[in-house]
Amino acid sequence: EAGVAQSPRYKIIEKRQSVAFWCNPISGHATLYWYQQILGQGPKLLIQFQNNGVVDDSQLPKDRFSAERLKGVDSTLKIQPAKLEDSAVYLCASSLGSGSYEQYFGPGTRLTVT
Amino acid sequence: SQQGEEDPQALSIQEGENATMNCSYKTSINNLQWYRQNSGRGLVHLILIRSNEREKHSGRLRVTLDTSKKSSSLLITASRAADTASYFCATDETGNTGKLIFGQGTTLQVKP
């Protein structure tokens, strides 16, 4: 079974530039999550999708971050404009459902904002 | 917001010894999960324990849950160098959307 795919793996941009991350979840997984992990901390949920609908985006900085999951499969996360404090690893995860299901994580995208 | 707090923040042991990590949380939960993260394999699910369970085993892993104290522990027996990683607890809060809230993690180093 193929795992969660993410691209790019690394990205370096200057502040105020824009960046987009892509995620392809495990086939058949209805729930998709985007997390931000700052060095030395645990992952923090940014947004949770159930199929192509948003379930939770309470911690997404909506003035600069946006995410979509078209057709309930792939997802993109965009930051525009980026700030220095956005430097982190962005993790995508998927699960069969939400709640009592294990989440499968992709390798992440390491973003450096200079 | 972070829900779980892991203790200790860092742990260094010799190969063959046991490692115990603790997690405390603040609200009622449906389940608690433990994940491992190392540079080679990213975040990997280890074990899920439901709120009505008190103990669960998986290979060399033993997890306990005490909902009255809002705490959980992860025991790794007969540790190996390959167990070197960061370990995170994550809670699925009651009444929430099923999202997981991760703690800050415990960094485990197992010396050969």
Encode chain A (114 residues) as per-residue pLDDT tens digits.
689 999 999 999 999 999 999 999 999 999 999 999 999 999 999 999 998 899 999 999 999 999 999 888 999 999 999 999 999 999 999 999 877 789 999 999 999 999
Output the CA angle A46-A48-A49, nearest 5 degrees: 140
Tell me whether residues B102 and A31 touch, CB distance under 8 A: no
Q: To 10 degrees, the CA torsion angle through A90, A95, A101, A104?
A: -50
CB contacts < 8 A (A, B):
63
A5-98: in CATH 2.60.40.10: yes
Give residue B46's domain range: 5-111
Report the residue of chain A nearest B105, measured CA to CA: A42
Q: How many domains does chain B fold into?
A: 1
Interface of B with A in 13-72 (CB under 8 A): 30-31, 33, 42-45, 48, 50
What CATH number is given to the structural domain containing B68?
2.60.40.10
